[in-house]
Structure 1
Amino acid sequence: MKLKSLILGSIAAAGLSTAGFAADLGVLTSLDVCDELGLSGLTISSDTNCLQISGSVAYTYEIGNFDASRNIAQTPFTANFGGSNADGVRNIDAPSFVAGSNQDWNSKVETYLKFVGTASSDFGPARVVINLRQRDYTRSRNNAAAVDGDAHALRAQDAYVQVGDGTVLSAGKKGSIFNEGDDEPFNFTGLFMSDDADVGVWEGPVTKGGHVIQVESSFGNGVVGKIGLEALEQTGSKNGSLIGVLEYSGSGVTAHISGSLGGISDFVKTVDDTYAVHAGVTGTFDAFKIRAAGAAGGGFHPAGDWSYWNGLLSGEANFDMFKVALSGEVAGGKLIGGADAGTDFGFGGSVGAAVTEGVSINLGGRYFNDGTDGIGDGYQVAAQLVAAVTETLKVTGEVGIYGHAENVAPAAAAGSFSDVYGSATLAWAPGGGFTSSLGAKVQQNGAYKVTFKAAKSFQ
Structure 2
Amino acid sequence: MKLKSLILGSVAAAGLSTAGFAADLGVLTSLDVCDSLGISGLTISSADNCLQITGGVKYEFNWGDFAGNWDGGVPWIAARAGNRNVMDNNAAAGLDNDWNSKVESWLKFAGTASSDFGPASAVIKLKSVSHWVVENEALVAGKTPAGGAAVAGTGGDETFGWVIDEAYVSIGDTTTIMAGKKGSIANFGDDEPFNFLGLFNSDAVDKGVMFAKDHPKTGGHVIQIVSDLGNGVVVKGGLENLDSANSAAFAGFYNVVNNAQAAGTLVGVVEYAGDGITAHVTGLAGGILDGIVENWAVHAGVTGTFDMFKVRAAGAYSANNANDSYWNVLGSAEATFDMFKIALSGEATGGQNAGVAIATQTGVGGSIGATVTEGVTINLGGRWFDEDTGTANTEGYQVAAQLVAAVSETIKITGEVGVYGTNKPAAAQQTDFYGAAELAWAPGGGFTSSVKGEVHQNGAYKVTFKAAKEFK
1:14-413 residue pairs with structure 2 within 5 A?
A: 16=16, 20-71=20-71, 74=75, 87=81, 89-145=83-139, 147-150=153-156, 151-152=158-159, 153-204=161-212, 205-234=215-244, 235-268=259-292, 273-301=294-322, 305-335=323-353, 337-371=354-388, 372-406=390-424
8 Å Cα contact 2:75-2:394 kept in structure 1: no
For 1:293 and 1:37, locate their aligned partners in 2 and report how far apart those are by CA, in whole Å: 37
Q: 1:197 & 1:49 partners in 2: Cα distance?
A: 41
| Cα shift at 1:220 | 1.1
Structure 1: 5+ residue stretches without partners:
79-84, 408-412
Does the 8 A contact of 2:70 with 2:77 survive in 1? no
The aligned residue for residue 441 of structure 1 is 454
Q: Aligned pair in 2 of structure 1 residues 206, 275: CA closer, same or farther (>3 Å)?
A: same
The root-mean-square deviation of aligned C-alpha atoms, in Å, is 2.0
CA shift for structure 1 position 28: 2.6
State the Cα distance separating 1:206 from its structure 2 match.
2.3
Q: Deviations over 1:322-368 (max 9, x none)?
A: 11111011111112x22211221111011111111111111101000
Q: 1:9 deviation in Å? A: 2.9
Distance across 1 between alignment mates of 2:87 and 2:36: 54
- Tell me the equivalent position of 2:150: none
SS at match of 2:133: strand
**Post-superposition CA distance 1:259-307 (Å, at most 9, x none):** 00001111257xxx11101000001111111101011121122xxx111
Show the counterpart of 2:463. Answer: 450
For 1:108 and 1:77, the matched residues in 2 are separated by 24
The residue aligned with 1:4 is: 4
Write the distance in 2 (CA, Å) between the matches of 1:15 and 1:306.
71
Report the counterpart of residue 410 of structure 1 in structure 2.
Answer: none
1:88 to partner: Cα distance: 6.0
Give CA deviations for 1:30-49 in whole Å, capped at 9, x if unaligned: 21210111110000001111
State the SS of the aligned residue for 2:329: strand
Write the distance in 2 (CA, Å) between the matches of 1:340 and 1:261.
23
Give per-residue Cα distances to partners, 1:131-177, cap 9 Å, x unaligned. 11110000111112461222112111111000011111100001011
Structure 2 unpaired stretches of 5+: 141-152, 245-258
Give the secondary-structure state (helix, strand or coil) at the position aligned to 1:292.
Answer: strand
Q: Which one of 420, 440, 444 corresponds to residue 431 of structure 1?
A: 444
In the alignment, the residues of structure 2 paired with residue 186 and residue 42 of structure 1 have an alpha-carbon distance, to the nearest angstrom, of 36
- Deviation string 1:420-451 (CA, Å, 9 cap, x unpaired) is 00000101111111111111000011100000
Q: Structure 1 181/119 Cα, relative in aligned 2: closer, same or farther at 3 Å?
A: same
Taking a change above 3 Å as real, the CA distance of residues 296 and 327 of structure 1, as seen in their structure-2 partners, is same
Query: Residue 58 of structure 2 contacts residue 104 of structure 2 at CA under 8 Å; is this kept in 1?
Result: yes
Aligned CA distance change for structure 1 residues 125 and 77 (closer, same or farther; 3 Å) = farther
Q: CA deviation at 1:246?
A: 0.3
Corresponding residue pairs, total? 440
Which whole-Å CA distance do the structure 2 matches of 1:185 and 1:406 have between them?
Answer: 27
Q: Shift of the alpha carbon at 1:8?
A: 2.3
Distance 1:96 1:401 in 2: 19
- Aligned to 2:424, what secondary structure does the other structure show? coil
- Distance in 1 (alpha carbons) for counterparts of 2:409 and 2:287: 52
1:29 is paired with a residue whose SS is coil
Conserved 8 A contact 2:14-2:21: no
User: Are the counterparts in 2 of residues 229 and 241 from structure 1 also a CA contact under 8 Å?
Assistant: yes
* TM value normalised by structure 2: 0.89
Q: Deviation of residue 12 (structure 1)?
A: 4.3
Q: Which AA in structure 2 matches 1:49?
A: N
SS in 2 for 1:265: helix
* CA shift in 2, pair 1:25/1:356, >3 Å: farther
Whether the 8 Å CA contact 1:314–1:328 is kept in 2: the answer is yes
Identity %, equivalent residues: 59
Deviates more, 1:49-58 or 1:233-242: 233-242
Partners of 2:306 and 2:24 in 1: how far apart?
Answer: 59
| Conservation of the 8 A alpha-carbon contact between 1:388 and 1:394 | yes
Give, in whole Å, the separation in 2 of the partners of 1:39 and 1:252.
Answer: 29
Q: Aligned equivalents of 1:77 and 1:117: distance in 2?
A: 46
SS at match of 1:123: coil
CA distance, structure 2, for counterparts of residue 89 and residue 434 of structure 1: 29
Bigger shift: 2-11 or 437-446?
Answer: 2-11
1:343 partner amino acid: T
| Residues 74, 171 of structure 1: alpha-carbon distance in 2 compared, 3 angstrom cutoff | farther
Q: TM-score, normalization: structure 1? A: 0.92
Query: Contact 1:76/1:344 (CA < 8 Å) preserved in 2?
Result: no
